Amino acid sequence: MRGYYTADQVREAEAPLLASLPDGVLMRRAAYGLARVVADELRLYTGLLASRSVTLLVGSGDNGGDALWAGAFLRKRGVAVRAVLLDPERAHRRGLEAFRRAGGRIESDLGTPDLVVDGIVGISGRGSLRPAAAALVEQVRCPIVAVDLPSGVDANTGGVDGPAVTAAVTVTFGALKPVHVLAPQRCGRVELIDIGLDLGEPDFRSLDPAEVGARWPVPGPSDDKYSQGVVGVIAGSAQYPGAGVLCTGAAVTATSGLVRYAGHGAAEVLSRFPEVIASAAFEDAGRVQAWVVGPGMGTDADAAALLASVLATDVPVLVDADGLSLLAENLDLARRRTAPTLLTPHAGEFARLAGTEVGSDRVRAARALASDLGVTVLLKGHTTVIADRGGQVLVNDAGGSWASTAGSGDVLSGVIGALLAAGLAPLDAAAVGARTHSLAANLAAAGGHADVAGAPISASPLLGSVRDAVRVLRSVARN
């Protein structure tokens, strides 16, 4: 499991080391790791190290000092290094002295480097790049290695409100920060350098693939179709029958137990998945261990009454899509529940539920809505944020945008619903389902091969890759 620490948490963890170590030791420790990664990148892009060139973009804080010290180490290994000082009067004094002693040059322009090191601002930075820095970054035509985080991107939220760096690699020190998972498209590959921090509890976490595979429910020797979890699905309508097919099909694919369907699309669902027990009415569906309600069900008065009936049950309920639009009109339906409730909104649905836009701090927004309604919230996005009513958060970086296609959310709901019925807590079910769903999308895009470049997909092949994704994750867990 990976933990992510806010800027304040990192500074608090650094304080005892800074007090106990000789001045500058911690910075040189970080800079040595940074120089090693930069050297590896130079070899990757050029095949050589000696006679290669690097330009440092140096700000006024410790971030700039890290870059200067790394530049000194690189210069000693034969790399031609120049530094552009964005604020010469406030450049890190000892780092600058070391850089000059090693033969580094101070220049006013980028030159034509093989690689640029972004040491403009660190975790204390606020807002976008200032004009002079933005103009320099705009001129870069080679890979950028960011020091701790891409400058102009908020360390705690991953938010960007103007010009900012997009890095090929981000080298961070001591701990992963929220930006590294909330803005992966800005950070590129993230390399963590251990500098000896004694860290406490992170602000939030993510599950690694082995943990996802280990949490996936599998039948034991004494299980039967009922004990493995019976999930009920209310999805689809005369206008949107496909939502019922995709959602129910995902539940079938994700479980070894039993899936019940209730709704207008029974004929369509049975034509694709004859193992489903289907009925036209919720009242006739039979006993389940969890319900999925909402995808494509419509938003008329009958749909509203049906949602209220489902939320009046004493089993876990996942609400998605049209169900969220209906719930936004009567939030007390969620607040009154004592059984677990999981809401899976995208940004627009979230705004209707919360009465405000998500904003740049997606973790804070998800926590606030979960606390207000007493539910678990899965906020969809490139990085999925899942918050429970107690403030616990798990995140999942999709690793791509292949799942951004019509019907993808219906598949996600079916997968998570099956996990809820199998007994996983909403926070775990959402995190395990989201990781499986994103892997299925990536596998579908790559034709089933994780190491092959992908091609556009639709929800049907995504659904077809769910079992492959489960197999991969279970395999990782066993190894």
Q: Known binding site: residues?
A: 62-66, 118, 122-128, 148, 151, 243, 296, 346, 380-384, 409-410
Distance CA 475, CA 479 (A): 6
Distance CA 464, CA 411 (A): 10
Q: Which two tokens stand for residue 35?
A: 């120089």
Residues 6 or more apart whose CB falls under 8 angstroms from that of 326 comprise: 294, 299, 303, 304, 307
Distance CA 133, CA 60 (A): 12
Cα four-point dihedral sign 332, 333, 338, 339: negative
Distance CA 139, CA 179 (A): 24
Q: Which two tokens stand for residue 425?
A: 């807590």
Binding residues for AMP: 380-384, 409
**153 neighbors 183 (Cβ within 8 angstroms):** yes
Decide: helix, strand or coil at residue 115.
Answer: strand
Binding residues for (6S)-NADPHX: 62-66, 122-128, 148, 243, 296, 346, 410
**Residue 11 CA: distances (Å) to CA of 7, 103, 354:** 6, 32, 32
Closest of 252, 250, 276 to residue 263, by C-alpha: 276
Binding residues for K(+): 63, 118, 151
